[in-house]
Amino acid sequence: MANLVIDIGNTLTKVAVFEQQQLLETGHYADADTALFDELLNRYTISKAIISSVKKDTPYWLSVLGTRLTVVHFAAAMAQGITNHYLTPHTLGLDRVAAVNGAVYLYPQKNSLVIDGGTTITYDWVDAGANYFGGSISPGLNTRYKALNHYTQGLPLVEADAAFGMDYGNSTLTAIQSGVQNGLKYELEGFIKAYSKTDKQLNIILTGGDSDFFDTLLKNSIFAPQINIEPNLVLIGLNAALLQHND
């Protein structure tokens, strides 16, 4: 029997099918609909689903899905084994909890820094004893580019370029790329350096839609050997929570 895992983010809905711990299929959708889930339910024998959402609105397809199988709504308390020290747990994004749960599930008894790159970038640290204290939230890669265009009169909308390698820009285009991408690189390195003060062998996990891009930014960093790329960390964390919930 398989599990259906759904993560509704700010921009995309991520969907995965797991058989126990094995990821069978995953996809990212701007507009998930009943046809998508009909197709998955026809191809796999799915017994349960777990859903996490950063949005307040309930998608129309969820009620339809609930008539066909048991749907579990992820809650922070389902991250079993993690001690949450966040001062405002009711405001903590479930995607952040799921990512931390995935980190502990994949890398038990390690100090891990989870960097999740999407519409926003979140930095979350969980120690070797599975204590979670919090982290940081900053604008995502493309959010930064869009903000420069939206909040100014003269700056164009520029796309991210993984091949950009200049230390500074010599045109408006490259100056924007330098500001956004070099600035983000320095931010990533700064956070990693700060957390590494407590553990020189800190386990660094890059996840989210921009994880490969972040890996490129950090490829020449002294921290590169400590970096693991797990683009589906949130989905893995949600599946782990569902497996534990079944027990």
Write out the DSSP string of the chain.
-EEEEEEE-SS-EEEEEEETTEEEEEEEESS--HHHHHHHHHHS-EEEEEEEESSSSPPHHHHHHHTTSEEEEP-GGGSTT-EE--S-GGGS-HHHHHHHHHHHHHSTTS-EEEEEESSEEEEEEE-TT-EEEEEEEEE-HHHHHHHHHHT-SSPPP----TT---SS-SSHHHHHHIIIIIHHHHHHHHHHHHHHTS-TT-EEEEESTTHHHHHHHTTTSTTGGGEEE-TTHHHHHHHHHHHHHH-
Report residue 95 as tokens: 């995607």
Catalytic site residue 247? no
Active-site residue, from 7, 33, 95, 215: 95
Active site residues: 95
